[in-house]
Chain A
Amino acid sequence: MELLRKLEILADAAKYDASCASSGTEMRDSRDGKGLGSTAPGMGICHSYAPDGRCISLLKVLLTNACNFDCLYCVNRASSNVARARFTVDEVVKLTIDFYRRNYIEGLFLSSGIIRSPDYTMEQVVSVARKLREEHRFRGYIHLKTIPEADEALIAEAGRYADRLSINIETPLEESLTQLAPEKDQRAIRRTMGRLRLKLDETAEAKKTVRRAKPPRFAPAGQSTQMIVGADEANDRVILSTSANLYGAYKLKRVYYSAFSPIPDASRALPLQAPPLVREHRLYQADWLMRFYGFDADEIVEENEGMLPLDIDPKLAWALRHRDRFPLDINKASREELLRVPGFGTRTVQRILATRRTTTIRFADLAQLNVVRNKALPFIVLSDHRPSPSLLDGAGLRARLRPKPQQLGFGF
């Protein structure tokens, strides 16, 4: 099969993986003239965007889309009739280098269907990374998908070459994984995540203690995972508490939420409809609240509700449920309190704290602080602004803050 056709099949098969990040790894460059590539300091670089709004920072492909497993949500499942292809190790290596030299990408994200055995598949995936690093002295970003239950030695080797390792939890409910992906075992997935975390901890620990030999490198950008949203019955509360557990137990850098989208040759057992993109977006916002705003998973979604509201963001929804904590004087409130004001981002809070050390913040200053004003105003007090009590307590507040419904269009 010609290379272009293979690329088409194997990139198409990889497009359901939401992970795109190329950030948070160690700093590398090739100024010594003995290799190719660098990692971007701080955040990674998105080299392009697709019309689905998603960033293209890595060459994201499967090594092969042939798979022994029959996961119903997956386009590559054994029983689907899609065209199959398989890259050779050298083909992926060459494509990565060729794309990289033209500044199309930051590196490679390699995943694979499971063929022959988990160990065989993992070995193939690892050999691409090994070749890139050792033969081509490639110093760009590499993200490898870990195959559950692959041998520990292979995982260690993967961590030596990769910046990030990931293994997908797939579904929040273990029961639905059993139904949708009979060969996948969530316990095995969790065990692998646990092993990865122990390895990451070990390496971090070894770096702290002074030693003659450097500890073997292990995935400096950590591990991440993905959950499919909308293919089973799990509600948002279940999803977020699953995430909280994953973050706490395995110190994941990211949990990605992937709204289940229609796939070619779909199984009849699945809900066939357009993907719930707004719901996915709300979950990312809620996830953000857990990671950067000090929210606990179970306060984001009300116990008796189960789902995040789709019409307003989760922080605004939380504030509307906790009106007794507002209005908040932003010249006096603590950092933790400020982080809970709708329309305030972490940078806004930082700026407020720095500014109010020397001057009092007034209404006219809000524009410079990057505050989303219509969201924040009912909840804050300034020396020259105080929301009327009837506004904050009134029944109409939610309707007032909800964005006006718009005709969806393509923006062209």
Chain B
Amino acid sequence: MHEMAIAQGILDIALAAAAENDAATVARIKLQVGEMTEVEPEALTFCFAALAAGTAAAAAELEVEVLPLVGRCRDCGREFRVERFRFLCPGCGSAGVEIVSGRELRVEHLEVE
């Protein structure tokens, strides 16, 4: 359950941003989670609720946007959706593929009151 550590990270970021903006409560937290992360959104929501109890984010709703796994070929420049974790360029067959998106673990924005 590493989701506990990740939920703690989200809570720390949310509470700090809320305090900076003189907000009393956090209503909503929008997250971006890449497809190639080992995070279970349901477990994350559960852990977050447990940690946030009694804080300004106690009633916050987590919204998780899953970002697709996209690679870019360093040889031919092609960008493509990586299916079944196959990091080989479908254009030229190159193994020189870098991850453009799909590894995000990010707080995108907050809605506060």
Q: Do A and B bind each other?
A: no
